[in-house]
């Protein structure tokens, strides 16, 4: 499975024999990625990391060569059947999470839902990525080690000494709803955590701008941050301090991570982890792996999540997970 990355700057596709490396766990895994790339003598690596820094399963793919060019269009996916819609497990998790918010253990936690589909034949990641890229312009489309998706959220870009990010939190079908107190509370935590982490690696901030980011039938509140990097900074250095953000974990982060491990029925794997590319100079672009699915042969597990805070209501929160599943279901021909 050759890796793919596509964004508004173009397409990167890996070719030839790949060196596939496990970078390990903890914050050192990002530095290990860059060190292994430099030792390989090759120019660029694609990488996808687990959401939980203590979990195994991260992947660095260093292809023999990388090219650009458009992805194929018009590809179709074979019929799939629903194996598990994940609703029952999500309901149980919601009740437990809201109890912990009421006790003050966390102010915010992001609860994820997992949906499993299965077909008669192996699902081809390249086909799914092609359909996603066509249907989701402006997103970051990726295919790395069977994890395929189109994320609206840039985690960090470092190019030519300039750092930039787009921190998202808060989702609604009606942009007017993005001004609600609940969404403002969600976004406050995310913006603060991202700003603090990036501040360690920037000499100043040239841009801080709050924007509304449309994605299909949804809109999100986003904060763009950009500025010059401290000399010698690599994207690996920034990743080590930046992830996980409050957008995909919660606040306080450590308590939210512990709660996620307790209430979610299975590991997220590389869902909501950093996914992107890095070159041998240390420049790179990483998104958060959202609106995605993990392919294992003829089976695919889809993921969607939403931030819970005091006052979150079960029905609209479940509806939000449905909205976030839509891009992958459409790419798979299920809608």
Enumerate the domain spans of the chain: 4-331
pLDDT digits (tens, 9 = 90+) for 204-252: 887 677 777 776 667 777 788 899 999 999 999 999 999 998 889 998 9
So what's the pLDDT on residue 275? 98
pLDDT digits (tens, 9 = 90+) for 59-79: 999 999 999 988 877 667 889
pLDDT classification of 318: cutoffs 50, 70, 90: very high
So what's the pLDDT on residue 93? 97
Catalytic residue check, 108: yes
Q: What is the mean pLDDT of residues 82-94?
A: 97
For residues 130-146, b (16+ Cβ closer than 10 Å) or e, as one string?
bbbbbebeebbbbbbbb
Q: Does domain 4-331 have CATH number 3.60.120.10?
A: yes
Catalytic residue chosen out of the listed positions 108, 127, 182, 324 = 108
So what's the pLDDT on residue 173? 65
Q: How many CB atoms within 10 Å of residue 8?
A: 8
pLDDT classification of 7: cutoffs 50, 70, 90: very high
Catalytic residue chosen out of the listed positions 36, 107, 153, 264 = 153
| CA 192 – CA 187 distance, rounded (Å) | 8
| CA 250 – CA 108 distance, rounded (Å) | 5
Residues in the chain, total = 335
So what's the pLDDT on residue 231? 96
pLDDT digits (tens, 9 = 90+) for 95-152: 999 999 999 999 999 999 999 999 999 999 999 999 999 998 889 999 999 999 999 8
pLDDT digits (tens, 9 = 90+) for 151-200: 988 999 999 999 999 877 666 666 666 666 666 666 666 667 777 888 89
So what's the pLDDT on residue 201? 94
Stated pTM of the model: 0.93
So what's the pLDDT on residue 137? 86
Considering only CA atoms, which of 319, 328, 320 is closest in space to residue 295?
A: 328
So what's the pLDDT on residue 225? 87
| CA 98 – CA 162 distance, rounded (Å) | 40
So what's the pLDDT on residue 89? 97
Catalytic residue check, 209: no
| CA 291 – CA 303 distance, rounded (Å) | 7
DSSP secondary structure string for all residues of 189-244: HHHHHHHHHHTTTBS--SEEEEEEEEETTEEEEEEEEEEEBPTT--HHHHHHHH-S
| CA 335 – CA 328 distance, rounded (Å) | 9
So what's the pLDDT on residue 208? 74
So what's the pLDDT on residue 222? 77
pLDDT digits (tens, 9 = 90+) for 37-52: 999 999 999 999 999 9
| CA 66 – CA 293 distance, rounded (Å) | 24
So what's the pLDDT on residue 100? 97
């Amino acid at each position: 499975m050759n890796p793919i990355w596509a964004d508004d700057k173009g397409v990167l596709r890996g070719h030839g024999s790949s060196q596939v490396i496990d970078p390990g766990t903890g914050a050192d895994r990002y530095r290990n990625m860059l060190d292994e790339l430099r030792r390989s003598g090759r120019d660029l690596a694609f990488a996808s990391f687990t959401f939980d820094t203590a979990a195994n399963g991260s992947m660095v793919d260093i292809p023999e060569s990388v090219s650009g060019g458009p992805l194929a269009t018009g590809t179709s996916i074979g019929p799939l059947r629903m194996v598990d819609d994940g609703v029952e497990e999500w309901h149980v998790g919601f009740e437990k999470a809201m109890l912990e918010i009421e006790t003050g253990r966390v102010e915010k936690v992001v609860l994820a839902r997992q949906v499993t589909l299965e077909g008669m034949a192996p699902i081809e990641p390249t086909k799914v990525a092609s359909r996603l890229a066509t249907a989701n312009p402006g997103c970051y489309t990726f295919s790395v080690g069977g994890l395929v998706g189109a994320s609206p959220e840039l985690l960090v870009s470092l190019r030519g000494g300039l750092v930039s990010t787009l921190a998202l939190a808060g989702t609604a079908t009606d942009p007017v709803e993005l001004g609600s107190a609940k969404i403002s509370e969600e976004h406050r935590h995310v913006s603060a955590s991202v700003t603090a982490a990036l501040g360690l690696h920037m000499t100043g901030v040239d841009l801080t701008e709050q924007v509304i980011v449309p994605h299909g039938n949804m809109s999100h509140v986003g904060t763009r941050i950009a500025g010059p990097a401290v000399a010698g900074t690599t994207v690996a250095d920034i990743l080590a301090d930046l992830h996980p953000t409050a957008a995909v974990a919660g606040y306080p982060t450590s308590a939210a991570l512990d709660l996620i491990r307790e209430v979610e029925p299975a590991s997220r794997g590389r869902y909501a982890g950093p996914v992107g590319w890095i070159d041998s100079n240390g420049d790179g672009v990483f998104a958060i792996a959202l609106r995605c699915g993990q392919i294992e042969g003829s089976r695919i597990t889809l993921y969607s999540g939403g931030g819970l805070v005091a006052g979150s209501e079960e029905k609209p929160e479940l509806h939000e997970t449905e909205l976030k599943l839509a891009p992958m279901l459409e790419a798979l021909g299920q809608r």
